[in-house]
Structures are given as C-alpha cells and as structure tokens.
Amino acid sequence: MGGAVSAGEDNNELIDNLKEAQYIRSDLVEQAFRAIDRADYYLEEFRDSAYKDLAWRHGNIHLSAPCIYSEVMEALDLQPGLSFLNLGSGTGYLSTMVGLILGPFGVNHGVELHQDVIEYAYQKLEFFIKTSDSFDRFEFCEPCFVMGNCLEIAPESGPYDRVYCGAGVQREQEDYMKNLLKVEGILVLPLEEKLTKITRTGYNSWETKNIIAVSFAPLVLPKHRDNSKPKAVPLPTMFEVRTLQDLARIFIRLTLKKTVVGPGPLPRGLAHNGERLRQAQHCGSTLLSNRYVFMSRLIPGPMDDDNNRSDAEEEEEEGNCRIRGEPEEEEEQEEEGEESREGGALLHEAPVNLLRERILSLPLPEPLKMYMLHYREK
C-alpha cells in the first residue's frame, strides 16, 4: 500500500509532500516525522528507496508506506504521558516517533514475532539516541520490545491508552484487540482491508471509523503442539517507580534544554541558522549561571565565572542576547555571509546540537556525561 505521494529527495521533502497531500495534518505529528530520518531504518543498500511513498520489506524486516504511518499517527491522537502498545513493532520506526510525543513519563511497549527484527529495532534505537540531533530536542519515552505472538498476550497485561496493530486483523480477532484498550482509549488497526479507528467510549461501548483502504499481511496465528498449553507473552510492567537518578537526569536535561534552545523542539530550519544558534548558545550560558543558581553550586568550574559580575553588567549582556550580537560579531557574520554566497545561494552552516555540546562541556566525570546523553555502557 502506498504511492499516493510524490517521492522526495530527502526526509523533509517527503514530509512536505505528505503535508501537501493532507496525510499529515497536525504540528505534533509533523515534528515527530521530521525528527526521524526514514532512511535510517533501511538497510544501507536500499536507502535510495526510503523517501518513496511505498512499503518496504526485506526478509522479516518491514516498513509500511509513509502515508499509512501518517494516518496512523494522526488517528492515535497521541499526548504526553499516555501508554502505547505496538502489535508487530517491527523496526521500531513508528514506536520511536510515538516516543517523541509521549515524553519521559509515558509507556511505550512493542510486541514483535521475530527475534532478529527486535535486535534490528534496538540497533536503530541506539543509533538514533547516539547520533540524532533530534533526540535532544524532545523528551523521549524509550520503547521496550518483547518477542512473541501478539495474539498470546498475558491476560493481566494492560490495558493501554493507545494500541496499534501493524498486521491485518479478521473480525474474529477484533474483540481480543478491543480488550487491550482502556475506556476512552483508541485502537488503530487494519480490519478487513480498511485502516480503522476504534474508540472505547465505555466499558461495553465503541465508536468505529474507517480511515482508508489498505492491504496488510494477515496476523500470524499461534502454533501449538497437540495438548500443549499456550505460552502467554508477558509485557513489561505498565508503571514503574522511577529511580531518583533517572528523575534527576530528566530534570537536568529539561533545565539545560530550556536555557540553550528554549522550550519544545526546534522548528524546521532553525538548526541551520548559525547566527540565531550562536546567540542562543551565548544567552543560554548566561541564563544557566545566573537564573539556575543551584546548578552553579552543584557543578563548580567555568559556569561560576559570571557570579562576580554586577547586576547591571548581567542585565546589559542579557539585553544584548535578546536584541542583537556585538558590533564586531555582526561584521564577522556579514563577512561570513558574503563568503558563503555561491551562485546566488546562501550555504547554511552545519547544524549544532546545543544541548549535547552543553552537557559535554560540563566539568563532570565522563561516565556521568554519557549517562546524561543516554549513552549506555556495553
């Protein structure tokens, strides 16, 4: 299924085409799609096809067409803090986009039939966390993947606020899917060749809406030996008490993010604006040491250098940050702008990940900085 949208040259152009065709309609969904390069979830030899509006399969690895994922994301009506279950989680592409919206206090679980696909999904997740500038612009709910048949989920699991099934569902399996859902929850699934949105309006009441016609491979039915008892698939705990260390990381990253790039993810194009990024970084350094005093007390070193200046000096520097750069900087920027013009086009500077640079510059032990960046010890 797919092919309704023109192919793009890169991920942003693909998203532009999806917006123009009205598959992506909300800002939140657009931000999530722009944050993750679809090509990163392809095997290297197939990346040239990543920005076409087509499904892709290689062995057990599978990605639905971009227009399908767009409709799914819009229909799920995601919000921070919700619980999400992905049945047939595959490469983790959809689960990772969902995690950008759920935030650190959501729940993000996936069930996948094939162990090799789970390993592939975790490799892609690790790559996203370590290399993507987008990761540091969101508060992330990291997905957790479990191997098993999604038709054998343990009865005590769930229910969830949002559920998606990435394989074709027959009518006799519909009630099973509905029971995974909380009241007021939303289930999106391919039901008899139609992508369908089911909202649980009460304990025994539902609203059903057909979205678009689709063609999905059917769910794989469980296989059991004669007289053998089915093995239920246990899902991770729905709500766990977060460690103080984990909560501290979330709060510190959020505080640093607000001071260096402002609240929320950066809109498209801001990451390429060198002048605004340099000003944001300069202002962020001042704000971090002046407004968040507890940080300078906990972390001695260069961040305390501004504490001996007068209030007037601090106000003047903050004013400069808000209005414009220093005259010398402006002249340098003008010269750089003239030099960077080639053939009438302005060549953009490389993106700068301000949050990551700020964390790496802190006078902290390397293992602690790696923890702040979500990097894991192998």
Residues labelled as active-site residues = 64
Q: 30 near 38, Cβ under 8 Å?
A: no
| Bridging pattern class, strands 205-213 and 194-202 | antiparallel
Among left, alpha and beta (phi > 0; psi -120 to 50; other), residue 144 is beta
Q: How far apart are CA 114 and CA 97, in angstroms?
A: 21
Q: Residue 265 burial (CB < 10 Å; 0-12/13-18/19+)?
A: buried
β-partners of residue 208 are 198
- Which token pair is 1? 């299924």
- Calculate Rg over the CA atoms of the chain: 24
What type of residue is 362? L
Bridge partners of 108, per DSSP, are 84
